[in-house]
Chain A
Amino acid sequence: MDKTPERIALSELDKEQMKTFSDFLLSYNRLSEMCFTDCVRDFTSRDVKDSEKTCSLNCMEKYLKMNQRVSQRFQEFQMLANENALAMEKKLRK
């Protein structure tokens, strides 16, 4: 017998929001992993040292800035590729 309650169907908008949220969670986890590996190497003490904390926060901020730049360049590249594709199509139609 089917005991699981029927799932309410999500609208397209909700689905998109969920996707954004899950992307955010994934990048959060990735960021923690990366900055932890790069900044915390000393396990002779239980406490997080100030230097480790600053390093991790800098690591996060820097990564976000890098991501912004990569995204800008990626968009520029895509726009160029789109323009080229349109120009090609025009040429072929003639």
Chain B
Amino acid sequence: MDMSQISPADQAKVQVMQEMEIEMMSDLYNRMTTACHKKCIPPRYSESELGKGEMVCIDRCVAKYLDIHEHIGKKLTAMSMQDAELMKNMTS
């Protein structure tokens, strides 16, 4: 991106937003890890190795979690855009 054409205020804004995005990603990662651990690893720790079934479960869990995350994100944006549209129509 060419930063010279953007005002310093906007540059600061972009930076804060990038930091928020990183923060959001790490939060997503932590939540996903906790959720998949809960769903895939039974709390009987007779072994320290991951079982085959547990590995498959983790792979699917991560893929599904991220899919659902994306779906919800899309729906949420669509809904908030609709809301904004409605508000604009009501005020005008």
Q: Are B59 and A69 in contact (CB under 8 A)?
A: yes
Instruction: Report, as a range, how many residues of chain A touch the other chain.
Output: 20 to 34
Question: Interface code B40-80, partner A: CB below 8 Å = 1, 0 otherwise?
Answer: 11010111111000110011001100100000000000000
Q: In the complex, what residues of B have CB within 8 A of residue A71's CB?
A: 29
* Docked pose: A69 CA to B33 CA in angstroms: 10
Q: In the complex, what residues of A have CB within 8 A of residue B48's CB?
A: 57-58, 61-62, 65
Residues of B in contact, count (CB < 8 Å): 21
Give B43 Cβ to nearest chain A Cβ, in Å: 4
From the candidates A56, A65, A74, name the one contacting B49 in the complex (CB within 8 A).
A65
Give the dominant DSSP class at A's interface.
helix
| Best-surrounded residue of B33, B45, B49, B54 (most CB of chain A within 10 A) | B45
Contacts A77-B63, A77-B66 hold; do A66 and B45 have CB atoms under 8 A apart? no
Q: In the complex, what residues of B have CB within 8 A of residue A61's CB?
A: 48
Give B77 Cβ to nearest chain A Cβ, in Å: 16
* Docked pose: A77 CA to B43 CA in angstroms: 28
Question: Interface code A18-51, partner B: CB below 8 Å = 1, 0 otherwise?
Answer: 0000000000000000110011000000000000
Measured CB to CB, the residues of A under 8 A from B are 34-35, 38-39, 54-59, 61-63, 65-67, 69-71, 73-74, 77
Measured CB to CB, the residues of B under 8 A from A are 29, 32-33, 36-37, 40-41, 43, 45-50, 54-55, 58-59, 62-63, 66
